[in-house]
Structure 1
């Protein structure tokens, strides 16, 4: 798997927090999508989709699972009924690897953390692993899903 060290820019995001079972993540994401559409934020190159993964769903009890789903923005998020808030993805050095396929089985995330990191001589940074969902939407088939995985480094 191809891993690159990149400088990720600090990125302002609109975020919704998901707490609980990974099987319910889609319900949380739908709220972010509804907010996005109501605010006319449709350009996927300008308003990029991210997930900040605080826990590993493979090893974390479902009740303790935690992820923020985000959309890069330029303006502050105003009051809204969806629970969308302002957050920032920290900038800095990251290892980046691309996964192609179903997002429920992200091979790049496992590879970066379990294989690449121990052999790299690098140390984990103080921000969770995050994903850039390169292509999103109902017309994207699972086998065509592209996700860039970022592992923050010191």
Structure 2
């Protein structure tokens, strides 16, 4: 694609995203968006989805749900009022959509605030994964940051050969952004057992299913802690072994809310252009610090993808 052509489409997409972000309190007029982009509706939706990773309507619905999730965590507003603000005509319809996206009812999500004293803390996450990096923000003065994939924007990835790891685990089933509850259960078990004292102790999240093909409520993951090979595990903890081998590694610096986007870029941008193939084993995150000892902008999370 010629630079001037891509610039035209990027400008049209960026204008549209700005309009979507400012239209959360009203229904989306898709025909008007297409006219504003100077494209036919047929071509507009395909260009938008190809460059952003979701349709305008999907983005609109996701941003409304993210706003609702943040309201559940930060306000005392009733669930029904939040449902109406999110564009749903009934409490039941909102609850179904919310549960599908977050793996929990609105009330359960609101109650999932973690004890900050635990050493295995991962706060509830209102943001849903989006390759574009566009998320709801309640600050109207904050600049909208949009990621549109180009050859020049490929993320920094290293290929490393790693040893095997033994991991004490707690199982999570549901959308991956709801794994914070499993980390809370993990902390309640590994802290009293003294497992955090070992030098190799590090929090990890292990992912077993592809969110592109597996329904959100069926996604499987483990919240875990790396432990020595010869240490006995207390009751209530499972055990997994991450095999030695070649892994693609990238580092995400910043809030955990950006991890879903980082995985989308790793799998959707870097991998297809890398010449590498996914190998046996499971993808996982390794947390080099956590919210108890670092501010959100300094959180360091390593993402590992097994390679053949």
TM range (shorter): 0.7 to 0.9
The answer to whether residue 274 in structure 2 is matched with residue 114 in structure 1 is no
Q: 1:152 deviation in Å?
A: 0.5
Aligned 1:3-152 pairs, distance under 5 A: 3-22=157-176, 24-43=178-197, 45-55=199-209, 60-74=214-228, 75-80=230-235, 83-106=236-259, 107-152=261-306
Report the TM-score when normalising by structure 2: 0.45
Residues 23, 115 of structure 1: alpha-carbon distance in 2 compared, 3 angstrom cutoff:
closer
Contact 2:172 2:220 in 1 (8 A): yes
Contact 2:247 2:305 in 1 (8 A): yes
> How far apart, CA to CA, are the structure 2 residues paired with 1:25 and 1:78?
21
Q: Which of the two has greater helix per residue?
A: 2
Q: Which of the two has greater strand per residue?
A: 1
How many equivalent residue pairs?
Answer: 152
Per chain length, whose mean CA-contact separation is higher, i.e. which structure has more relative contact order (CA < 8 Å, sep 6+)? 1
Residues 14, 77 of structure 1: alpha-carbon distance in 2 compared, 3 angstrom cutoff:
farther
Contact 2:248 2:306 in 1 (8 A): yes
SS at match of 1:116: helix
Contact 2:198 2:227 in 1 (8 A): no
| CA shift digits 1:57-96 (9 cap, x unpaired) | 577533112211111111344341xx31121011110110
Report the TM-score when normalising by structure 1: 0.86
- Name which one, 1 or 2, has greater alpha-carbon Rg: 2
> How far apart, CA to CA, are the structure 2 residues paired with 1:70 and 1:128?
13
Please list every run of 5 or more consecutive structure 1 residues that lacks an aligned counterpart in the other structure: none
> How far apart, CA to CA, are the structure 2 residues paired with 1:121 and 1:22?
27
Contact 2:243 2:281 in 1 (8 A): yes
Please list every run of 5 or more consecutive structure 2 residues that lacks an aligned counterpart in the other structure: 1-154
Q: 1:25 deviation in Å?
A: 2.1
Q: Which residue of 1 aligns with 2:82?
A: none
SS at match of 1:42: helix
